[in-house]
Amino acid sequence: MSWKLSMYRAGELVQIRSKEEILATLDQNGCIDGMPFMPEMLQYCGNVVRVSAVAHKTCETARRTWKARRLNAMVHLAGLRCDGSAHGGCQAACNLFWRDEWLAKPGETTQPASGRAGAVNEKALYASTMRDATSDEIRYACQATMVTDASAPLQWWNPRQYVRDIRTRNFPLAHVARVIWLAILKHWARNTPRGYRLANYIRGAMHRRLTGREVPDFLGKLPLSTPTPTGRIDLQVGERVRIKSKPEIEATLDTGGKNRGLAFDVEMSPYCGREATVEASVTHIIDEETGKMRVMKQPCIRLRGVVCQSRYSDCRLMCPRAIPSYWREIWLERSPAHESATRSHPREQEQVSELVG
C-alpha cells in the first residue's frame, strides 16, 4: 500500500463537496479504498470547515492491537464527529475521517461525476451501515470498525511519520521532539538491566522539567480478585467537574489498571486535577472488533475537549485521531464553583433542574 499524504494541511479551510459529488466517488460498498463515507457525514455537505489534523496515521482499535496504521490522503475536520444517528445511536463520538476526494478548496467549482461504475445512492449508503450477520444481533459497519481495511501497518520506529507530523502542521517541531525524547527515556527506564533507579530518576526529572507534571504511569492498588469501588454522583450534561488527583484515582484501580472493567488509560493522566464540562453520559457504543452494540453496565462520562493526545502511548505516538476518553464518576467530583453555586442559590438550581428534567 502506498502512503500518499493529503493535499491539505492542519489549519487550512476546506469545503465539503456536495452529496452528489461524494456519492459518485464511492464504490458499491460506499467506500474509497476501504474507507466508508457514512450517512452521518451527509449533513456537513457544502460546509466550509477548518482542517484540525492530517490523518496520515491512526491507531488500530478494531483489532485491539492499539498500534499505528498509515492512511492515504485523509484529514480530520474541526468539530465534526459522528453522532451515531445511522448506527443505532452509538455514543462514541468518533472523529470522522475525510478523504481528499470528498473535499475542495473553498469556492472551487467542480462538476459532479456521472456514470461512475459502482456508484451508490443515499439509500444504499444507509444500507451499508450494517454487516451480514449470522445471528439475530445487528452488526454495524463504520469507519472505526473498518479502519484496518483502509490502512496498512506503521512501525513506531519509522521516522517518516514524525517528519510528516511536522510537515502537515499537526504538531510543531518542539512538541514532536519532546514526545519522542520522553518516549526514549520511558523505554530506557523500563528495559535497562542495571541502574534502573537512576534511569527512573532521570526520566522523572526530565518529565517534570518538560511538562510540569509527574510521569503518567498509574499503579492500581487493589488486587485483581478484589471488586473495585463504584461511586455514582449523577452528573448531568453541562456540569463542571474536577478530575481527581493521581493518588485518588490509583486507589480505585486494580493492579491491571481498571475500575469495573474500564481501564484508566495513560493518555488520561495529563487531565488529573483539571476542570472540565460534562458533555455526555455514555451508555452504549459499538464494539469496533465485532460491530455489535454494547450497553454499559454503568454509564461512563465523556468530558468536553478531553481526548487522547497520544503523547505517551506505546507504538502510536502523536496519533491525530483524538478519541474521547471515558471516565468513571468515581474519578470525578463536582467543581468547587458548582458546589458553591448550588449552596448559594438552591431555589435557582431547583428551577433549572425542573426545566431540564
Written as nine digits, the cell of 204 is: 522523572
Quote the pTM value. Answer: 0.90
- For the stretch 281-292, pLDDT in tens is 999 999 999 999
By percentage, how much of the chain surpasses pLDDT 90? 80
Whole-angstrom Cα distance, residue 69 to residue 62? Answer: 11
> In terms of Cα–Cα distance, which of 70, 71, 73, 69 is closest to 99?
73
Which of helix, strand or coil describes residue 182?
A: helix
φ/ψ (deg, to 5) at 184: -65, -45
DSSP state of 94: P
Q: Where are the beta strands (DSSP E) in 250-331?
A: 258-259, 262-263, 275-286, 293-307, 324-327
- For the stretch 314-336, pLDDT in tens is 889 999 999 999 999 999 999 98
What is the pLDDT at residue 64?
72
CB-neighbour burial class of residue 82 (10 A; exposed 0-12, middle 13-18, buried 19+) = buried
pLDDT over 50 at 348, yes or no: no
The angle formed by the CA atoms of residues 104, 69 and 217, to the nearest 5 degrees, is 120
What is the pLDDT at residue 237?
97
CA torsion sign for 143, 148, 150, 151 is positive
Which of helix, strand or coil describes residue 151?
A: coil
